[in-house]
Amino acid sequence: MKKSIIVIIFYSILTCMHTVSAKDTKQSADKLFDSYKERFVLALWKVNPSWASSVGYHKYDNKLVIPNDKSRMRELAFCKANLDSLKNFKLSELSDVNMTDYYLIENQLKYSEWGIKEQKAYEWDPSGYNVCGSFADMLSNDYAPLDKRLHNFYLRMAAIPAYYKAAKQNIKNPTKEHTALAIEQNLGGISVFEQDLADALKKSHLDEKEKIKITARAKESVEAIKGYVTRLKVMENKNPRSFRLGKELYDKKFAYEIQSGYSADEIYQKALKHKQELHEEMYELTKELWPKYFNPGTMPRKKLDAIRQMIDELSENHVKADSFQSAIEQQLPALIAFIKNKDLIYIDPSKPLVVRKEPAYMAGVAGASISSPGPYDKNGNTYYNVGSLASWDKKKAESYLREYNHYILQILNIHEAIPGHYTQLVYSNRSPSIIKAILGNNAMIEGWAVYTERMMLENGYGGDRGVNSTEASPEMWLMYYKWNLRSTCNTILDYSVHTKNMSKEDAMDLLVNEAFQQQTEAEGKWKRVSVTQVQLDCYFTGYTEIYDFRQELKNKMGGNFNLKQFHEKFLSYGSAPVNYIKELMLKEMK
């Protein structure tokens, strides 16, 4: 018998025992908080116009904040004023949704303050200065008539020279790694003001005079970008800051960004343990598969050597470089069909996912990613950005394709697209809380994507009977464990590099020898960990929290547990920290 969580919640609301007066207080406190949230969000966009545009709020499309002292003071004043405003509300008088929104707003404000006062990335991270992304969005996202978007593009460009002038003044002793990234990404983004803009102007209905004006200003913008790049290239930097964040800043950043019930160190310890467990599982599968692929008796004695040899064999099952993108496109309908057939979660067919070549300004960090239209752009396209292998040399491409082989490519699509990031984002945009839609928690977002990989395999995806598969093949499981090892080692790597001074050599040893990654992948990860901090922890942390919570609920509900309802209910809260979602779901169940 199916008994939905939703039905249970309904009962709990109907039988709710609040006294009338307590309910009234709650309602009026919530009403006040709702209108506060509206004011907060509008003010937030005024202070952060580019962020506003990126989530689809286009009122300030013509504005670009000059990153100088004045704007930092303005942001601090904004934080202080809103932290004061929050004090007017009693948490106990707020609804669950508003209570978590309160926490998210408070966390965001404190994180901003900490960023300006303590982390001070604006002094040492030159890659924080890059206007190209927000301008690219104005050309590629069809949220308003092209002529109007071009007009705002023109107005926003006016501040670009001052923007880069301030950037030059801010930079003190940048890290070498962030300097190199800034050069690469800013140069990569110039095409937005040249080719992309020229193409858009051709399609527009603006008159010649206006087109000339826009083109002239774009030229000045390109000069400003190039000037910044040149400055970074020639600037003297005798004592560059280390890209390693250090334990003190790291622990704080982990707390603000991950918002987990665990500390950074606790998660690190859990990851170390999980790595051992995965190695055991993988060894069992390797023993099982060995006779199918190799002569019995040729299995290496060392566990990790045997696993590696099996993975190497299975990795040869991969697509050709020129069909990488089409292979991804073809898999998406298969995933949807499987999910429907197994009744795992509702997939909204009216929100299409467009696969596209990764735009140049994104190059350099990840291989595939999702760009979502955000809470104000509900009808905008969701893009699946796929890095192109066209310009890669043969050896590098082969290494990449072996990494994203037949098995892993499917898991990547589960993670990035369906029912991973893409599906979660569709639900998040439906969430009634704009706060959760815009201040989304990364550990929940990544944790969900990582969770769905395992969930799909548990339900039989990757077996030999297509949509009717009841059991994933041992090959699929082995490769999945290898992939999961990646999230796990992301955490070990990030924590070790930023707080324990892990060398590149040791990092490569961890990734290549213990996580079985190809050289290209491991090099890419090293590059990523040297220009980001804490971000790599969110995968394993979120996954662990979601998976453990699901198992806890299953135990509690027994036969009444319904996987589809669990998924839809879990996502309905939007991108809140898992900790809070868990608290709310448990409370509603009672």
The minimum distance between CB 315 and Zn ion, in angstroms, equals 8
Please choose, from the candidates 402, 397, 398, 394, the residue with its C-alpha nearest in 3D space to the C-alpha of residue 312.
402
- Number of residues lying near Zn ion (CB under 5 A): 2
Question: DSSP string spanning 516-575?
Answer: ---HHHHHHHHHHHHH-SSGGGHHHHHHHHHHHHHHHHHHHHGGG--HHHHHHHHHHT-S
Residue 379, amino acid: N
The minimum distance between CB 236 and Zn ion, in angstroms, equals 38
The minimum distance between CB 401 and Zn ion, in angstroms, equals 6
The minimum distance between CB 318 and Zn ion, in angstroms, equals 6
- Closer residue to Zn ion, CB minimum distance, 403 or 446: 446
Handedness of CA 386, 392, 394, 397 (dihedral sign): negative
Write the interaction track for Zn ion spanning residues 442-471; mark x where CB under 5 A is met and - where it is not.
----x--x----------------------
- Closer residue to Zn ion, CB minimum distance, 27 or 317: 317
- Closer residue to Zn ion, CB minimum distance, 252 or 406: 406
Q: What are phi and psi of 368, to 5 degrees?
A: -150, 140
Decide if 311 contacts 482 (C-beta within 8 A): yes
**Residue closest to Zn ion when measured from CB atoms:** 449
- Closer residue to Zn ion, CB minimum distance, 222 or 335: 335
Please choose, from the candidates 29, 11, 4, the residue with its C-alpha nearest in 3D space to the C-alpha of residue 96.
29
Q: What are phi and psi of 221, to 5 degrees?
A: -65, -45
Question: DSSP string spanning 85-128?
Answer: HHTTS-GGGS-HHHHHHHHHHHHHHHHHHHIIIII-HHHH-GGG
The minimum distance between CB 296 and Zn ion, in angstroms, equals 25
Run of H or E residues at 369:
strand 368-371
Q: How would you class 5 by CB atoms within 10 Å of its CB: exposed for 0-12, middle for 13-18, buried for 19 or more?
A: buried
- Closer residue to Zn ion, CB minimum distance, 257 or 446: 446
The whole-angstrom separation of Cα 131 and Cα 169 is 17
The minimum distance between CB 450 and Zn ion, in angstroms, equals 7
- Closer residue to Zn ion, CB minimum distance, 179 or 410: 410
The minimum distance between CB 441 and Zn ion, in angstroms, equals 13
User: Could you write out the three-class secondary structure of 482-519?
Assistant: HHHHHHHHHHHHHHHHHHCCCCHHHHHHHHHHHCCCCH
The minimum distance between CB 566 and Zn ion, in angstroms, equals 21
The whole-angstrom separation of Cα 451 and Cα 444 is 10
- Closer residue to Zn ion, CB minimum distance, 69 or 316: 316
- Closer residue to Zn ion, CB minimum distance, 373 or 447: 447
Tell me which stretch binds Zn ion (CB under 5 A): 135-143, 346-354, 439-447, 494-502. Answer: 439-447
Give me the residue label for tokens 């009338």: 20
Please choose, from the candidates 102, 103, 92, the residue with its C-alpha nearest in 3D space to the C-alpha of residue 36.
102
Under 8 Å CB-to-CB from 191, ≥6 apart: which residues? 360
The minimum distance between CB 143 and Zn ion, in angstroms, equals 25
Write the interaction track for Zn ion spanning residues 362-401; mark x where CB under 5 A is met and - where it is not.
----------------------------------------
The minimum distance between CB 425 and Zn ion, in angstroms, equals 11
Token pair recorded at residue 155: 């107005």
- Closer residue to Zn ion, CB minimum distance, 182 or 529: 529
Footprint of Zn ion on 536-565 (CB under 5 A): none
The whole-angstrom separation of Cα 543 and Cα 490 is 13
The whole-angstrom separation of Cα 179 and Cα 164 is 14
The minimum distance between CB 405 and Zn ion, in angstroms, equals 8
The whole-angstrom separation of Cα 414 and Cα 336 is 10
- Closer residue to Zn ion, CB minimum distance, 361 or 448: 448
Of the CA atoms within 13 Å of residue 319, those in its CB half-sphere come to 18
- Closer residue to Zn ion, CB minimum distance, 83 or 355: 355
- Residues of this chain that interact with Zn ion (CB under 5 A) are 446, 449
